[in-house]
Structure 1
Amino acid sequence: MTETMRAVVFENFKTFPSLKDVEKPTPGPGEVLLKVAGAGACHSDVAIFEDFDENNPAGLKPEFTLGHENSGWVEEVGEGVTGFEKGDAYLVYGPIGCGRCKACSRGQDTYCENAATNPYLATGLGRDGGMAEYMTVPARNLVPLGEADPINAAPLSDAALTPYHAIKLSLGHLDGGGKFALVIGLGGLGLIAVQILKALTGATIIATDMKEEAMAEAEKLGAITVPGGEDQVAKIREITGGRGVDAAFDFVGVTPTIGAAMGAMAMQGRLTVVGIAGQPHSWSFYTAPYEVELTSTYWGTIEELHEVAQMYRNGQIVPQVTRYTMDQALEAYQALVDGKISGRAVVVPHS
């Protein structure tokens, strides 16, 4: 008799996901079966079922189980897998590339050179993810957590890895005294970005959002906050003594937030657009400060996820988590759609 489990399934575009019984997976060669500890609900999931259609830029096709921010305990191993003990806790590195190209060889599956011909992008993005009681993962994609709480760790695999990658690439702009960093958007990624900047740099951190409660959380983490509004850029520049910020990280990615960040930049600064709203920005030689870099990043490397896990074990990263049971999983997604989630919603299938 086929064994089943509950999972949150993306069934079609423009359609809210379903909580349903599906077949419990079996690990194939080179794979590990995880008993899911936690699965983070991300705005990228909302984009899949609310915004995308069959011509989506990621080439995703229904149906599959959602959840690309996952942690769990080893339940079973597939053929050829050694070195794992049942019950040990791991984070899941979500991206899955071809495993053969230069990008994959350095652990950066996000930039796989054969992405267009791969069967899926990641667990929870084309391949069944962790918004379920169990999931299978390539053994190579597991990052050990040791004795750290795996449930609260689940968001680290995206909500911490993504800002960590962006911040590491910008550290050269934050070396030295008197530097300023700007964080725009204080959701799950933005609040962790403040913590990462605090741990890795000596920069003064300025954080901005439209939500007062989100800014209050950022202040607790050591940031100076500026609310969104018409005088937002002027207030940011005032804090920097008129010079502007040396590095900015936009976790929204809409035209107004990119424009605000560019307006707040110092000469020779670096603005990284991390949010994937995909909206355009109009650039002009006469309005952009000289030698400002405007760039983007996507997720991070598996090596960096090992580093993120170490920061979590050290207490340098503490995700702000609201836990939901499996019965409440669709409520978590609805709260995300309605903008009612502060930090990260984590579904705990075995609570």
Structure 2
Amino acid sequence: MRAIVFDQYKSTPVLKEVDRPAPGPGEVLLKVAGAGACHSDVAVYRDFDESFGPPQLRPSFVLGHESSGWVEELGPGVEGFTVGDAFLVYGPIGCGHCRACSRGQDTYCENAATMPYLAAGLGRDGGMAEYLAVPARNLVPLGQADPVAAAPLADAGLTPYHAIKKSLPVLAGGGRSALVIGLGGLGQVAVQILRALTGATVIATDQKPEALAQAEGYGAVTVPGGPDQAGAVRELTGGRGVDAVFDFVGVDPTLALAMSVVALQGRVTIVGIGNGSYAWNFYGVPYEVELTSTYWGTIEELHEVADLYRAGKVTPQVELFGLDDGLEAYRRLEAGELNGRAVVIPHGH
């Protein structure tokens, strides 16, 4: 079968022929419906090398850690699945028996250091291929919902959902506000999730006018990037500041913006892995402000994200690419030329 493979460090992935996987005990083989291209993939093949990055992500493996598909074949011991049914794939794969994995939070597996991979598409072959084998436990049913558009929900939906759910205590009540910094694939979904889960005023900011217009369509009040950005955000909150800030970029300027507009006893969550830094000062930040980070989410939360998708509350904006054009999808992702999430569809749509 054909697949997009991370073949060597500091190099563009390649489209090549690989063996079709066979589902092992407890696994299911999926005919891939869609696989989202993510900036984390770019970090793996552009930034990592032998001395930098998790050892589980050494080449080579098939990319694609946000995937969906139809059941093609059941491995030994697997029951309760019907061939042809559509599922979303929970990407993280932990040891399965530690405390974190027992609560469905494989992202924080206590034995991650001894695991040979981190997730399907991150160390283990992922969904940028015609077929994908995954543990049956990692499948989240989609019912009659379109699995192609659902593919990005496995990361671009789950990651903001987890971050927002952790911040719900500061968003409970009237008169609350949230700020989304960075309106790429995750940021646009975050606006929709905030609107679905809270009554907060959702403020969104980005440099791209088209991204701002899209967020406005989801019900956000937008602020363009520029020298008056922080002042405009504060003005929208009556000078009080924002209760919950979600930074989907994570570079120095966005961290500084987040900390400059957060309200007293507010919460700032860094979601984007931009590797930025912030110099904290006791007198420079309102009292009792929380500055935290999150990574991906739990399988239970992915079930909840799928519920929102089936209910029409969250709809990722996608640009579709055939497998032959998958490398172009990554090129456009790196160049910042995408308006939605790039989804590779190996079998057409």
TM bucket normalised to smaller: over 0.9
- Matched AA of 1:327: D
Give the corresponding residue for 1:337: 334
Matches within 5 A, 1:254-333: 254-333=251-330
Q: Which moved more, 1:46-55 or 1:71-80?
A: 46-55
Deviation at 1:271, TM superposition (A): 0.4
Match of 1:112 among 109, 114, 117: 109
Deviation at 1:187, TM superposition (A): 0.4
SS in 1 for 2:300: helix
Deviation at 1:52, TM superposition (A): 1.3
How many Å separate the matches in 1 of 2:225 and 2:94?
A: 38
Give the corresponding residue for 2:9: 13
Residue deviations 1:249-275 (CA, integer Å, cap 9, x gap): 000011110110000000000000001
Matched, 1:158 2:164: no
Q: Which runs of 4+ in 1 moved over 4 A?
A: none
Give the corresponding residue for 1:137: 134
Deviation at 1:201, TM superposition (A): 0.4
How many Å separate the matches in 2 of 1:136 and 1:337?
A: 28
- RMSD over equivalenced CA pairs, Å: 0.6
Matched, 1:213 2:176: no
Deviation at 1:56, TM superposition (A): 2.7
SS in 2 for 1:336: helix
Residue deviations 1:5-38 (CA, integer Å, cap 9, x gap): 0000000111000001111110011100000000
Matches within 5 A, 1:92-111: 92-111=89-108
- Matched AA of 2:247: D
Give the corresponding residue for 1:146: 143
Give the corresponding residue for 2:48: 52
How many Å separate the matches in 1 of 2:339 and 2:106?
A: 29
- For structure 1, the residue ranges without an aligned partner over 5 or more in a row are none
Matched, 1:89 2:75: no
Give the corresponding residue for 2:31: 35
SS in 1 for 2:283: coil
Number of residue pairs aligned between Structure 1 and Structure 2: 347
Give the corresponding residue for 1:22: 18
Deviation at 1:279, TM superposition (A): 1.8
How many Å separate the matches in 2 of 1:56 and 1:314?
A: 42
When normalised by structure 1's length, the TM-score is: 0.98
Deviation at 1:58, TM superposition (A): 2.3
Give the corresponding residue for 2:229: 232
- Matched AA of 2:61: F
SS in 2 for 1:266: strand
How many Å separate the matches in 2 of 1:224 and 1:53?
A: 41
SS in 2 for 1:332: helix
When normalised by structure 2's length, the TM-score is: 0.99
Matches within 5 A, 1:72-83: 72-83=69-80
How many Å separate the matches in 2 of 1:111 and 1:57?
A: 17
Deviation at 1:53, TM superposition (A): 1.3
SS in 1 for 2:33: strand
Residue deviations 1:233-261 (CA, integer Å, cap 9, x gap): 01100110001000000000111101100
Give the corresponding residue for 1:65: 62
- Matched AA of 1:14: K
Aligned-residue sequence identity (percent) comes to 70
Give the corresponding residue for 1:243: 240
SS in 2 for 1:20: strand
- For structure 2, the residue ranges without an aligned partner over 5 or more in a row are none
SS in 2 for 1:286: helix
Match of 2:200 among 198, 203, 207: 203
How many Å separate the matches in 2 of 1:268 and 1:18?
A: 48
